[in-house]
A and B are shown apart, each in its own frame.
Chain A
Amino acid sequence: MSHTGTFSPRPGAAPLGRMVLSQARMETRLLLRNGEQLLLAVVVPLIVLVVGTEAATHVDLDLAHSPVDTLTPGVLALAVMSTSFTSLAIATGFERRYGVLKRLGSSPLPRAGLLAGKVGSLLVVEVVQAVVVCVAALVLGWSPTLSPVGLVGALACALLGTAAFASLGLFVAGALRAEATLAVANLVYLLLLAGGAVVIPATSYGGAGPLLAALPSGALGAGMRAAFLDGSLPVVPLVVLAAWAAVGTILTVRTFRWE
């Protein structure tokens, strides 16, 4: 067995950190390469921000703050939702369909590492989205209330919101076929965009307000608004998001099929 050739066995897993980083990089690259995903991630939030701000100056919405100040935190929430729910669900649905999850399932990358890689790529895309949205909003005259507590609150909302939506997105992707996942993920996104109290405060929806505030979309929107409008720590929305993250994780763990 002293013979060593080109292919002589020398097996071993790469260090976990390296594997996760590699996976995150790969997923980010693929996400940014995909035109539809980019549309969803950047173009739609920008349109909502620009058109919404423009429209709100013409229609009296009885907002306590300027339109751009009210809308921008919600658009940030929308950006988180589009990436961590819709993009993730669609991408994962097709990974199942094309056997990518199966293939990676026999690689040294453990499942937890795969999930960590996915989360890493979501966070990278979200940072890109946040930069684009914030720059556009500042151009439109956004003047957020910046306080350390508020910034911590916004960050916590983004992270817990990502956890909640990502777990729900994985639940959909793990339970349905790829085409059905594509349809459901886009439909839910559109419904929540229009009626989920993400961009417009739940109080603007009349009697449905309290119900909408309990949705992950409403909680994420409210949390971002509290953070950037009042500079306060949005405790209730954070609790709601944590609860949804727990529900989504339990559902996903129980039902997810890798093939």
Chain B
Amino acid sequence: MAYGDKVAVDGLSLTVARGSVTAVLGPNGAGKTTTLETCEGYRRPQAGRVRVLGLDPQAQRRELLPRIGVMLQSGGAWSGVRAVEMLQHVASLHAHPLPVPLLVERLGLGSCGRTPYRRLSGGQQQRLALAMAVVGRPELVFVDEPTAGLDPQARRTTWELLDELRGDGVTIVLTTHYMDEAERLADQVHVIDRGRLIASGSPLELTRGSTGTSTIRLVVTEPFPPSAPGSLQATLGEGTLVQALGAQSLLITGPADATTLAKVSTWCDDQGVLPESLSLGQRTLEDVFLQLTGRELVG
């Protein structure tokens, strides 16, 4: 019974269910931030209709804003303001804010609480931005690239907070270009590329694809000739897809059965290349993106 928040941007049509975590996944420049900013009321769509919590983000902005939290990708604070002072200020604009010390502690901002914003590290600025987005106890938060450039420890801290928000009934819409982030956090993933929606589903649905499909990654010791993907594709025939993942690595998507494996090793022998590793696995979202667009997501 999915009802809720209809989101549409320029041929992009997607719906977010309340209480869920939705990831908008795509490479840089895919239109993720534009999509978010249209929902946040910063941009007026040239065509189409946007409803957030049933409200028009432009016409009913004043009604909507207290109910949502927004994490911008960068900036958003005075250069001379101290970290905790800024958070306190945003908290004071809300009726029932979270206790500031709680957020400071949870996001590890205690050590830099009195540091002016301009002297915070990128990761500290990002965690502060997340804290500002959630301090007003919103129903719905939009987080734009929450962990871009964070170290693993800070990433985990951020993920744990987002998990907990979801557990407490907050709807989360996040953008990311990290596969693992989408797989780890999201109930629903929308893959967009060049402003168009190219796939939607749960991480499992997206990676499972058609029944019996999985992946084989082949890494060889020497760079192979440009003709290699084509020649392996010809060897394997219909029902499998071969794509280059770099100069020494191929991704084969299809039935990862003994027959296919035998064909792959025979092909290696014919080509005179030495396999360094041959690994079977579920498709990752990375593979899905590559298959859908023919391009790598990051890089």
A residues near B (Cβ < 8 Å) are 1, 3-15, 18-19, 22-23, 26, 29-30, 33-34, 94-95, 98-100, 102-103, 105-110, 259
Contacts and interface: CB of A to CB of B under 8 A. Distances in A.
B78 A95 contact: yes
Interface stretch (B9-17, B65-73, B200-208, B248-256): B65-73
B167 A5 contact: yes
Interface residues of B, number: 40
A12 B67 CA distance: 6
B77 A12 contact: no
A11 B168 contact: no
Contacts of A4: 168
Nearest to B165: A7
A179 B91 CA distance: 31
B89 A26 contact: yes
A3 B169 contact: yes
Contacts of B167: 5, 7
Contact of A14 (B74, B78, B92, B98): B92
A55 to B, nearest CB: 36
Contacts of B93: 13-14, 19, 22-23, 107-109
Contacts of A22: 89, 92-93
B169 A1 contact: yes
B164 interface: yes
Given A9-B139, A18-B92, A108-B65, A102 B79 contact: no
A104 to B, nearest CB: 8
Contacts of A19: 92-93
Q: Main SS of the interface on chain B? A: loop
Nearest to A27: B78
A199 B95 CA distance: 46
A100 B128 CA distance: 13
21 contacts: A4-B168, A5-B164, A5-B169, A7-B170, A8-B137, A10-B95, A11-B138, A13-B93, A15-B95, A23-B93, A26-B81, A26-B85, A98-B79, A99-B72, A99-B75, A100-B76, A102-B72, A103-B77, A106-B42, A107-B90, A108-B136
- The 3 lowest CB-CB distance pairs between A and B, nearest first, are A99-B75, A12-B95, A103-B76
A7 B69 CA distance: 12
Given A10-B96, A13-B94, A108-B65, A98 B77 contact: yes
A119 to B, nearest CB: 17
B94 A100 contact: no
Nearest to A21: B92
A4 B170 CA distance: 11
